Amino acid sequence: MANMQTVFINPERCIGCRQCEFACAVAHSQSKNAALALAEDPVPKSRIHVSPGWAYNMSVPSRCRHCDPAPCEQVCPTGAMAHEETHGLVLVDVHKCIACAMCAMVCPFDAVTFHAQANGMPSRVVATKCDGCVERLDDGEEPACVEACKVDALLFGDLNTLVAAGRLQASAAVLAATTSQTPVEHPPATISGWRAWGESAAHISEEI
Amino acid sequence: MDTPDNLSKLSISNDAREMLVRAREEGIETVWDRLAAQQPQCGYCSMGVSCRNCAMGPCRVDPFGEGPQKGVCGADADIIVARNLGRTVAAGASAHSDHGRDILEVFESLAAGETSGYEIRDEAKLLALAKEWGIEAGDRSVPEVARDLADAMLEDFGSRKDKIGFLDRLPEQRRKLFDELGITPRGIDRENVEMLHRTHMGVDNDYANISLHALRTSLSDGWGGSMIATELSDVMFGTPKPIMSRVNLGALRVECVNIALHGHNPLLSDVIMQAAEDPELVALAREKGAEGINLVGLCCTGNELQMRKGLPMAGNHLMQELVLLTGALDAMVVDYQCIMPSVTDVAKCFHTEIISTADKARFAGATHVSFDPRRGFEIGKQIVALGIEAYVNRNPDRVRIPQGTMQMMAGFSVEAILEALGGTPEPLVEAIKAGKIRGAVGVVGCNNPKIPQDHGHVTLTKRLIENDILVLVTGCAAVANGKAGQMLPEAADMAGPGLSEVCKALGIPPVLHMGSCVDNTRILTLAAALANYLGVDVAQLPLAGAAPEWYSEKAVSIGAYVVASGIFTVLGVQPPIFGSQNVVKLLAADLEEVVGAKFAVEADPEEAAKLIIRHIENKREALGLPFVAADEALTDKVA
């Protein structure tokens, strides 16, 4: 676990383009092709979900965190939720899943949804969640959502390295707040101008 | 994000809120639900840094600066944002100008005696326009003069001229500036086509140069297509004069056949108003159990008719679905622009017939009656008859009309304003010089569900008139202010002491209805006339523009031509440019040095009011007029 590769989410970077959702759905299609995937039955579903924030121009992507121990795994009555060894991912065995939704009830991130899936019994609705793009990892690729994210809101790498990078970012802010060091401009003016309008618009309803 | 539970936060007007409750109860989807379902909206697109102009793309630039910084072609954020903005202006200018062309073509047919239901209703205006365009009337007949004017105006759409005709209304210094900057609009269609050319891959790759052409394109709208639409509509349908009217959903009448006229172009709606008075149709309505035929207006088609005939308004842009929810609307006649595709879906929940009329604007689920000016009156009658047939299917148990209407005054063409002033701008100029009126602001533009409906328009206008600033409104802003009771002569009491005194002396409201969105050209004409009267440039006048709730491409073109004409403009909704700091800097700062005016973006109307008041006092100071130091003006007067 210590040097585990995972997808790290940086909400400050998310601009709500939802390209991760699209790439996820295509990566979990039968054809792996955007144009053909739309015609598949069942239509592939995204396992990453971009939710809006409290104002316009704010959003955050969320996906299964592949917890260990995983609450979903602990409550699953059929053993459908289980860790795989190589990458430490929590995977759903769609053949064992009875769609009881115990996993969804205990999931701290509301990351489990229920849809028909092509691999297995397409006529049945089963637990559907991030599989960490296990097939892509086996091929030495990044998860599809990370590849699609051009603003680094989704990062793939060693957990501790990513955490350390985040700490570095925060250290600039801490130093700016506690010392006379000039704060690093973060985020850039383009983004802060864009977000400022969203916040301003959200506050208007307080006037009514 | 679900639609907020507190529906009263979506709109400030009670008629809208009542219908929103009904929509919620009956599970009928509206624009607010769809906005919520779209959250979050794509940041690349809302910052303007996505490009799908070619098949090497689509591309996007990471605004955080770490991902891709250039499209496949090499365009950076500056180029992509400027190209997108340029195309937006071209689409808006094209919409207005195509509307203008439609009016002009009917005017040309009218001059040739080929129409039914149309006449020259303002001959004096026709002759004045002919004179302005250098057409000798002599002892020729009116249709002959009209033909020559139509020909001259049609030339403005082409590429054989070096400047469009109405530009001469501007003060000389501004026309010279346009020449120096290379932004004199040459032909209406030409500037739009050239914008599409320039924004093709590998043509104009200089963000500032693209932005300048965006100004030129917008000027071809404001001083071209839109102005032709306004002026010729006045000639054919009458130049507006002050007239009382009513507004909000209470304009619908339970005992009548209710027909809403929606869209932008007065060509057909004017003949429908004539047809609704046809004795045979009135008899038919009575035969079916109605007491009569009640027409109501929506959006700018409604504004055109309210200005000239006092037609009651059902509402503005965001009321178009809600008017259907009354269950009392029998037909909605649509022409084009701003008609949501969703109206046919909402209409399916009721008996309402949606009747499309423009061959260039078809709607799945609508009944199409193709408009033809040669048979205008006949088609008008056919449409009214469809409304009467639909009335028979109305379910009285499902009728819920919000009660009561608000009175409002409309009809302030430039001619009407001058007449109210005694035939000369002098009293207005003197009132401005003396400081009774600090300045004038055009509050215009659409509704956008991102801003609580009408809150931006009404709050900004209220603050401005309180501070003795005369407000000129068009489009959705006019409906919003009408509903708020700010457009009655009695509303002079809501204004500051100076403006109140002037309004009471003239018997006018402090907020003047100048028409539809193409009629923003009336504001341009008035601004130019004031500048010419004083011998100064438009940019020196204590004027401003605001579009607190804009949504459409047309509004972007309007904002651009207002700024290019020298008037500071505040946008309430963010345009998709924030991905390029250079474009933002150009439009919100540097443009001041180029055209004497710039843009600002401010969602909160209270803050927008402060920006505008500060701007107007600064302009007064520069003109040597009595002024209030900015900080003082704000702390003293703005709540």
Q: What is the DSSP letter of B238?
A: -
Q: Which of B194, B210, B237 is the last residue of a domain?
A: B237
The ipTM estimated for the assembled molecules is 0.80
Helices assigned H by DSSP within B49-181: 77-111, 123-132, 142-156, 172-181
Provide the pLDDT for residue A12: 87
Name the 3-class secondary structure at A6: strand
Q: Are A156 and A186 contained in the same domain?
A: no
Q: Are A136 and A180 contained in the same domain?
A: no
Task: Answer yes or no: is B34 within a domain.
Answer: no
Beta-strand relationship, A59-62 and A49-52: antiparallel
Q: Which of B186, B203, B237 is the last residue of a domain?
A: B237
The per-residue pLDDT for range A15-27, each reduced to its tens digit, is 999 999 999 999 9
Residue to substitute from A194, A199, A207, interface B, most B β-carbons within 10 A: A194
The per-residue pLDDT for range B487-524, each reduced to its tens digit, is 999 999 999 999 999 999 999 999 999 999 999 999 99
Residue A22 is which amino acid? F
Q: Are B326 and B423 contained in the same domain?
A: no
Class of residue A104 by CB neighbours under 10 A (exposed 0-12, middle 13-18, buried 19+): middle
Q: Which of B459, B579, B601 has the CB atom closest to A190's CB atom?
A: B579
Q: Could you tell me which residues of chain B have a Cβ less than 8 Å from any Cβ in chain A? A: 1, 4, 8-9, 12, 39-47, 60, 62-68, 77, 450-452, 455-456, 459, 573-574, 578-581, 584, 601-607
Task: Answer yes or no: is B144 within a domain.
Answer: yes
User: In this model, does residue B636 exceed pLDDT 60?
Assistant: no
Q: Are B225 and B256 contained in the same domain?
A: no
Task: Answer yes or no: is B536 within a domain.
Answer: yes
Identify the domain containing residue A142 by its residue range.
Answer: 5-160
Q: Are A192 and A136 contained in the same domain?
A: no
Q: Is the dihedral of CA B416, B421, B422, B427 positive or negative?
A: negative
* Residue A106 parent element (H or E): helix A102-106
Q: Is the dihedral of CA B61, B66, B69, B71 positive or negative?
A: negative
Q: Are B278 and B151 contained in the same domain?
A: no
Task: Answer yes or no: is B107 within a domain.
Answer: yes
Cα(B372)–Cα(A104) distance, integer angstroms:
60
Identify the domain containing residue B172 by its residue range.
Answer: 86-237
Q: Are B260 and B373 contained in the same domain?
A: yes
Q: Which of B65, B574, B607 has the CB atom closest to A188's CB atom?
A: B65
| Terminal-to-terminal C-alpha distance of chain A | 51
Class of residue B5 by CB neighbours under 10 A (exposed 0-12, middle 13-18, buried 19+): exposed
pTM of the prediction? 0.93
Domain count, chain B: 3
Residues of A in contact with B9 (CB under 8 A): 205, 208
What is the least distance, in Å, from the CA of B433 to any CA of chain A? 35
What is the least distance, in Å, from the CA of B618 to any CA of chain A? 25
Q: Are B453 and B521 contained in the same domain?
A: yes
8 Å CB contact of A57 and B604: no
Task: Answer yes or no: is B177 within a domain.
Answer: yes
Q: Are B325 and B345 contained in the same domain?
A: yes
Residues of B in contact with A20 (CB under 8 A): none
Q: Are B482 and B623 contained in the same domain?
A: yes
User: In this model, does residue B343 exceed pLDDT 90?
Assistant: yes
The per-residue pLDDT for range A50-92, each reduced to its tens digit, is 999 999 999 999 999 999 999 999 999 999 999 999 999 999 9
Q: Are A16 and A97 contained in the same domain?
A: yes
Q: Are A156 and A203 contained in the same domain?
A: no
Domain count, chain A: 2
Q: Is the dihedral of CA A154, A155, A158, A160 positive or negative?
A: negative
Q: Are B432 and B376 contained in the same domain?
A: no
| Letter string b/e over residues B31-59, b meaning 16 or more CB atoms within 10 A of that residue's CB | bbbebeeebbbbbbbbbbbbbebeeebeb
Q: Which of B84, B199, B52 is nearest to B577 (CA)?
A: B84
DSSP secondary structure, B377-419, as one string = HHHHHHHHHHHHHHHTT--GGG--PPP--EEEEE---HHHHHH
User: In this model, does residue A183 exceed pLDDT 90?
Assistant: no
Q: Are B546 and B606 contained in the same domain?
A: yes
The per-residue pLDDT for range B74-91, each reduced to its tens digit, is 999 999 999 999 999 999
Task: Answer yes or no: is B70 within a domain.
Answer: no
The CATH number linked to B329 is: 3.40.50.2030
Q: Which of B170, B204, B237 is the last residue of a domain?
A: B237
The per-residue pLDDT for range B586-597, each reduced to its tens digit, is 999 999 999 999
Q: Are B136 and B176 contained in the same domain?
A: yes
Average pLDDT over residues B321-328: 98
Cα(B62)–Cα(B59) distance, integer angstroms:
10
8 Å CB contact of A190 and B580: yes
What is the least distance, in Å, from the CA of A96 to any CA of chain B? 33
Provide the pLDDT for residue A190: 84
Q: Are A62 and A97 contained in the same domain?
A: yes
Tokens (6 digits) for B633: 């003006």
Higher pLDDT, A205 or B230: B230
User: In this model, does residue B567 exceed pLDDT 60?
Assistant: yes
Q: Are A101 and A200 contained in the same domain?
A: no
Task: Answer yes or no: is B79 within a domain.
Answer: no
The per-residue pLDDT for range B51-68, each reduced to its tens digit, is 999 999 999 999 888 889
Residues in chain A: 208
Cβ-Cβ contacts under 8 Å for B397 (sequence gap 6 or more): none
The per-residue pLDDT for range B238-276, each reduced to its tens digit, is 999 999 999 999 999 999 999 999 999 999 999 999 999
8 Å CB contact of B601 and A56: no
8 Å CB contact of B452 and A204: yes
Cα B498 to chain centroid distance, Å, stands at 28
Task: Answer yes or no: is B51 within a domain.
Answer: no
Name the band, by pLDDT with cuts 50, 70 and 90, for residue B639.
very low
The CATH number linked to A119 is: 3.30.70.20
Q: Are A51 and A66 contained in the same domain?
A: yes
| Cα three-residue angle B406-B412-B413, rounded to 5 degrees | 150
